[in-house]
Amino acid sequence: MSDLRAVGYHIGLLLCVLGLTMAVPLALDLWAASANWRAFAVGGTVTLFIGGALGVTCADRARGGLSIRQALMLTTSLWAIAPVFAAVPFLIGAPGVSFTNGYFEAMSGLTTTGSTVFVGLDAMPPGVLIWRAMLQWFGGIGIIVVALAIFPSLGVGGMQLFKTESFDTMGKVLPRASEIAVSVSWVYLILTLLCAFAYGATGMSAFDAFAHAMTTIATGGFANYDASFGAFSPPAEYVATAFMLLASLPLARFVQLVSRQHGALFRDSQVRAFLAVMLAASAAIVAWRMADMTGDFETVLRKSLFNTASVLTGTGFASEDYALWGSLPVAVLFMIGLVGGCSGSATCALKVFRFQVLIAAVGAQVRAIHSPSGVFTPRYEGRKIDDAVLSSVMSLFYFFALTLATVAVALAMMGLDATTAISGAATALANIGPGFGDVIGPSGNFASLPDNAKWLLSLTMLIGRLEVLSIFVLFTAAFWRA
C-alpha cells in the first residue's frame, strides 16, 4: 500500500501541474473573446482539486525517492490517468465530444501519436488548438525523461545498452541523471523556439508557428487545420522536414555538442543509420514518383521528403494523401513507420538501434553457420552486445509483433476493413498518427470508428508509447512480489 500511496502523491502533483497549464488556453480564449474559456476554467479547477486532494492524502508516504517499481507504476498510471483530466475541456466546451472521443484525443496527444477524431479544426477556438499542441509537447519531453531515467535501469527492449553510455559518458559533463534531464529539457525548449521562429519566417502566423513548433519537436503531428500542412506554403514543408529530423536525434547529443564534444552526434551509429534510412526511403519514393507521374521535380522532392520524414519520425503531418502515390511508396512508408527515430528522442516505434542490434545478431548467426568452429560476437558501436540485451530486444520485437497482430484481428472483428484494421493497429502501436485507406488515411480521421475500436486504439497507443514490455510486466506476479 505504501508503494501505491507514494505513486499517488506524485500523480497528484503532476495533475496539479496539468491543471495549472490549462491557464494558457484559458487566456487565449479570453483574448479571442471566445466563451470556450469556461471549459478550461472548469477543467483546470477540477484537475487542481483532485490532484491536490490526492497529493495531500498520500503525502505522508512520499518521503525519499521512488524505487524502480514505483517509477514504472507512476509512469504507466500517469499516462493512463492524465488523458481523463486533459479531456475535460473537450467534453464541456468546444468541440463538445463524447468521453470516448475526448479520451482518445487526449491519449493521442500525450502519447504524441497524432491520430485525431476532431473535424472542423479550422473553426476551433484557439484554446482548443493550443491545448492539443501543449499535450503533445508535454508528452514528448515526458517520454524523453522516462527513456533516460527509467527504461535503461529496467532494461526495457535493450535500453540497458544506453545505461552506461547515457549516464557515464554524459557524466563527464553532467554527473547526475537529474541534471541530464534538465539539460535535455533545455535543448527541447530551444529547438521548439527555433522551429517557431523558422515557421514564422515562412509566413505562418505567430499562433500557428508556435503551435506547430510544439507538435513538430514532440514528433506528435497535431495540426491546426483539417488539411494539416496542406494549409501552408511550400517553404514551411522544408522547415518542418528539417526540424522533424532534428527532433528525432538523441537530444543528449546536442548537450554534448554545446559542451564542445563536437563529434558526439555523428559518431553515434544510430544517428548515421537513421539518416541512411531517411535518405534511402526518400530516394526510392522520389524515383518511383518521377517515373510514374508527370510533375516538376521540386514539388515531388519536397512532398516526398516531408511525408517520408513525417512517417519515419512518427510525427504524422501530411501535405497530401500519400496513399495515392502508388504501391511502392505505400509499402516503404508502412515499413519505415515501424522503424522510428533514435533512442533519447520523442520519436516512437521500435527505434533504429534495435534494428541495428537485430542485424548484428543475425549477421553473427549467419557467420556461425558458415564457419561452425568460429566464434562470432554481435557488436554495437564496437562493444559486445550482452546476452541480456539481445534477449530484451528480441522479446520486444516478439511482443510488438504479437500485439500488432492481436489488435489488427480485434479491429477486424469490430467491423473494420483489412486496410483500416492493419494500418490502424500499426499507427497506434508505433504512435505514428494517420494510417492508410479512405477511413483513417492522411485525408481522413478516426471519428467514424466505433467506440470499442477507439478504446482499443487508445490502449494500444499507451502500450506503444511505453515500449510494450513496461506495460506487460505489470501483469506478472513477479513484478508485484519484487
Mean pLDDT (the chain) is 88
Question: Nearest 5°: CA angle at 449, between 448 and 451?
Answer: 120
Q: What is residue 384's predicted lDDT score, i.e. its pLDDT?
A: 85
Confidence of residue 176 (pLDDT cuts 50, 70, 90): low
Average pLDDT over residues 74-85: 92
pLDDT at 461 over 50: yes
Among the listed ranges 95-99, 253-257, 283-287, which one has the minimum average pLDDT value? Answer: 253-257
Among the listed ranges 216-220, 319-323, 350-354, 469-473, which one has the minimum average pLDDT value? Answer: 469-473
* Cα distances (Å, whole numbers) of residue 35 to 72, 102, 128, 225, 251: 40, 19, 12, 21, 39
Q: Give the Cβ contact number of residue 439 at 10 Å.
A: 19
pLDDT at 93 over 60: yes
- The residue among 473 and 180 whose pLDDT is bigger is 473
Q: What is residue 333's predicted lDDT score, i.e. its pLDDT?
A: 95
pLDDT at 174 over 60: no
Confidence of residue 156 (pLDDT cuts 50, 70, 90): low
Can you say how many angstroms the Cα of residue 113 is from the centroid of all Cα atoms in its chain?
6
Domain annotation covers residue 319: no
Last residue of a domain, one of 52, 81, 96: 96
Dump pLDDT digits (tens) for 209-251.
Answer: 999 999 999 999 999 999 899 889 999 999 999 999 999 998 8
Domain annotation covers residue 191: no
Q: What is residue 281's predicted lDDT score, i.e. its pLDDT?
A: 97
* Cα distances (Å, whole numbers) of residue 96 to 80, 83, 90, 119: 21, 16, 6, 12
Q: Which domain holds residue 37?
A: 1-96
Domain annotation covers residue 185: no
State the number of CA atoms in the 13 A half-sphere of 227 facing the CB: 9
The rounded distance, in Å, linking the Cα atoms of 118 and 106 is 11
Confidence of residue 152 (pLDDT cuts 50, 70, 90): low
Q: Which residues contact 130 (CB under 8 A, 6 or more apart)?
A: 24, 25, 28, 207, 210, 211
Domain annotation covers residue 316: no
Amino acid making up residue 44: G
* Cα distances (Å, whole numbers) of residue 38 to 16, 24, 35, 42: 18, 13, 6, 6
To the nearest whole percent, how much of the chain has pLDDT over 70? 90
Domain annotation covers residue 90: yes
Confidence of residue 167 (pLDDT cuts 50, 70, 90): very low
| Residue in 117, 45, 58, 134 with CA at minimum distance from that of residue 85 | 45
Last residue of a domain, one of 53, 71, 96: 96
* Cα distances (Å, whole numbers) of residue 449 to 226, 314, 406, 446: 18, 21, 18, 6
pLDDT at 24 over 80: yes
Domain annotation covers residue 297: no
Q: Which residues on adjacent β-strands are paired with residue 379?
A: 384
Q: What is residue 249's predicted lDDT score, i.e. its pLDDT?
A: 93
Q: Say which residue the cell 507521374 belongs to.
A: 293
Q: What is the total count of domains within the chain?
A: 2
- The residue among 414 and 253 whose pLDDT is bigger is 414
Last residue of a domain, one of 39, 61, 96: 96
Q: Give the Cβ contact number of residue 80 at 10 Å.
A: 17
| Residue in 345, 336, 271, 335 with CA at minimum distance from that of residue 309 | 336
The rounded distance, in Å, linking the Cα atoms of 106 and 346 is 17
The rounded distance, in Å, linking the Cα atoms of 149 and 249 is 17
Domain annotation covers residue 10: yes
Domain annotation covers residue 29: yes
pLDDT at 160 over 70: no
Q: What is residue 1's predicted lDDT score, i.e. its pLDDT?
A: 45
